[in-house]
Amino acid sequence: MTPLLEVEDLRITFPTRHGTSHPVDGVSFSVARGELLALVGESGCGKSLTSLALLRLVPPPGQIQPGSAIRLGGTDVLGLGPEELRSIRGRRIGMIFQDPMTSLNPVFTVADQIGESVRAHQKVSKPAARARALELLQEVGIPDPAQRLDVYPHQMSGGMRQRVMIAIALASEPEMLIADEPTTALDVTVQAQILELLDGLRAARGMAVLLITHDLGIVAGRADRVAVMYAGRLVEEATTAELFARPSHPYTKGLLASVPRITGAVTRLTPIAGTVPAPTAWPAGCRFHPRCPAALPRCATDDPPALPVGDAHRMRCWLAEGRPA
């Protein structure tokens, strides 16, 4: 499949009192048209910052470093001027942020906020934008959409607010949707409804989707491919079926071992020891080695490259050496 989005050697730094922080450090991946790529990992691994970089929304004083490359359909995103960049945001890439309560403006109605997104990229009147807002509310499954147009975010449930965020992201028919932890703070039933909505919209519109999540449970059966991120780097990448059937990196195995099962024998969950290190003090060698139950002596000193472990399956680990690809 031809890539819609290509990210190569993405590096983001922040100056701090304790030295330069490298929260995203050499990340490369691609997303094809119509594909869903899940970017997974613990909090603090750099997932959300990676997604913000795709729209050049890295908060200051953070900087995307020279040598990084982000291409959308062949367009060099990092080389765009302010006006060209505005045409990308919302128009070609839509984004659903983590917390709709803080992402939505509390003093504007739902119709105003969706309409603003429509008019930012389409030359339509306010009545036409309002009509489009009504269509979008219907599309994202909000009951009694005409009655919801003039309500404020605080008057809606968490699930309804998230649907409004999705409507805003879809307002200009983007080629790609970035969903950053779209089910955060929602109960299990509403989570399932939001994920089913995204699945349906993706199928109907043929959009590419980058799903950011720490929950591997929502990835299985939904994503086409999975990229596992740890300490600012991708440590494993494979098709979803391959990753769940044959996880290879010790970190991926640890994430899967910590997911509760509802079938089979009841077993004790095994947490990953320790925590993600601070990006100002990444460990030498393999960044996972202080927490890794399978660490080799060289893991503490030598940084492993991404090595093949199967068809379209790579991991950043010395354990891949000598394994059949």
17-49: per-residue pLDDT in tens?
988 999 999 999 999 999 999 999 999 999 999
Domain of 121?
A: 109-172
Query: Bridge partners of 15?
Result: 20
- Structurally, the chain folds into a number of domains equal to 2
On whether the CB atoms of residues 65 and 12 are closer than 8 A, the answer is yes
On whether the CB atoms of residues 36 and 67 are closer than 8 A, the answer is no
pLDDT, tens only, 144-180:
999 999 999 999 999 999 999 999 999 999 999 999 9
Question: Amino acid identity of 177?
Answer: L
Q: Measured in Å, how far apart are the chain's first and last C-alpha atoms?
A: 21
Same structural domain for residues 23 and 64?
A: yes
* 24 alpha-carbon distance from chain centroid: 14
101 lies in some domain: no
pLDDT, tens only, 75-85:
999 999 999 99
Structure confidence at residue 39 (pLDDT): 98
Same structural domain for residues 219 and 192?
A: yes
Structure confidence at residue 323 (pLDDT): 63
Same structural domain for residues 83 and 182?
A: yes
324, pLDDT greater than 70: no
> Which of 172, 202, 217 is at the close of a domain?
172
> Which of 127, 156, 172 is at the close of a domain?
172
Same structural domain for residues 47 and 193?
A: yes
Same structural domain for residues 264 and 183?
A: yes
325, pLDDT greater than 60: no
Mean pLDDT, the chain, whole residue set = 93
How far apart, in whole angstroms, are the C-alpha atoms of residue 286 and residue 101?
38
Same structural domain for residues 25 and 78?
A: yes
221, pLDDT greater than 90: no
- Per-residue DSSP letter, 89: B
> Which of 154, 172, 190 is at the close of a domain?
172
Same structural domain for residues 144 and 34?
A: no
Average pLDDT over residues 310-321: 93
Structure tokens at 11: 């590096």
| pTM: predicted TM-score of the whole model, two decimal places | 0.94
288, pLDDT greater than 90: yes
Average pLDDT over residues 122-130: 93
